[in-house]
Structure 1
Amino acid sequence: MPFRLDGHPAVAVFTGSDRSSTVVRPHTAAAAAPPCPQEKRTMTIDWNAFTPHAALAGGVLIGLAATIFVLFNGRIAGISGILGGLLRPSAGGVGWRLAFLAGLVAAPLAYALAAAVPRPQIDAGWGALVAAGLLVGIGTRYGAGCTSGHGVCGLSRLSPRALVATLAFMGAGFATVYVVRHLLGT
């Protein structure tokens, strides 16, 4: 994939129908001009947001935390199940759930004391965010778990149900991005 060595985003323009010839232009207002007739597709890559080392470190920490949690607590670190257990509390199940959720809130606050926290940019209104949250909540109930329960803990236990659930939510995510970005053009 082409990129600029100065760390700024670049636009890779594929001119052949089989994407055989590639032209790289800087991603500036001038580069946003309408494509030439022979240019079939334009893809923008933000190389500043490509952070494989941070992603790998985060994945290792999540895996380590899930492993420690199942070894010492005997439970799966599925967030929807932990939160759902607080909505219908049972004896001996409230304290550890509150501690777990408090850790989820405290960890980014502790990180903010040590480093600058990046400001997220969300390109959606409140209505879309509420609808998305409700759909995710409904999906976790129908799927009997969330991405952390199925995708992290379930797959590591070689659970067939977790594999099917993970393939379903990843496929739905890919299809949603394709429809929203390519078919609806937003």
Structure 2
Amino acid sequence: MENFTPVSALIGGGLIGLASGIYLLLNGRIAGISGIVGGLLGRGGNDTGSATFERLAFVIGLIAGPLFLLIASPITATSLVTSPMPIIVIGGLLVGFGTTLGSGCTSGHGICGLSRFSTRSLVATVSFMGAGFVTVLVTRHLIGGL
């Protein structure tokens, strides 16, 4: 991307780490997106009303943040999405399958799990990062980009 700078990536990563740390301290729960969304879809066990509200507020924040960015900046959604819609849908389904298979998502394992020195999260993070590297290699460099 043309607008990438290491400073913005560093600030963004720091904010994600700070937010997940605060979420853990205040709620005693890991800020893994699959667990939060799964809880909203009824796979979270016997949640109280306040836990459901927290999950819903978290997901609304995930959606509102990028929407606010699109409204407040000259960036357009079409400049951010560079793949055809069928590829995006297939990718989303594969991520959902991998999240179920790996008992968690990239945020849960990569941010929260690694910071707690979880061996299971280390294995999961190495696996999905490796799969991502191979996917980029194949789709962008070996078959000419999708």
TM-score in terms of structure 2 length: 0.87
Cα 1:83–1:94 change in 2 (3 A) is same
Structure 1 unmatched ranges of 5 or more: 1-45
* Aligned-residue RMSD, C-alpha: 1.7
Q: Which moved more, 1:86-95 or 1:151-160?
A: 86-95
Q: Which moved more, 1:132-141 or 1:93-102?
A: 93-102
CA apart distance, 1:112: 4.9
Query: Hey, what's the Cα distance between the residues in 1 that align with 2:27 and 2:67?
Result: 25
Query: Hey, what's the Cα distance between the residues in 1 that align with 2:55 and 2:109?
Result: 18
Query: Hey, what's the Cα distance between the residues in 2 that align with 1:159 and 1:86?
Result: 25
Query: Hey, what's the Cα distance between the residues in 2 that align with 1:56 and 1:122?
Result: 22
**Structure number with larger C-alpha Rg:** 1
CA apart distance, 1:111: 4.1
Q: Report Cα offsets for 1:157-177 as digits up to 9, x if no partner.
A: 110000000000000011111
Cα 1:131–1:111 change in 2 (3 A) is closer
Structure 2 unmatched ranges of 5 or more: none
Instruction: Determine what percentage of the aligned residue pairs are the same residue.
Output: 56
Query: Hey, what's the Cα distance between the residues in 2 that align with 1:177 and 1:150?
Result: 21
Greater relative contact order, per chain length (Cα 8 Å cut-off, separation 6+): 2
Quick one: which amino acid aligns to residue 157 of structure 1?
R
Give the number of equivalent residue pairs: 139
CA apart distance, 1:182: 2.3
TM-score in terms of structure 1 length: 0.69
Question: 1:74 aligned to 2:21?
Answer: no
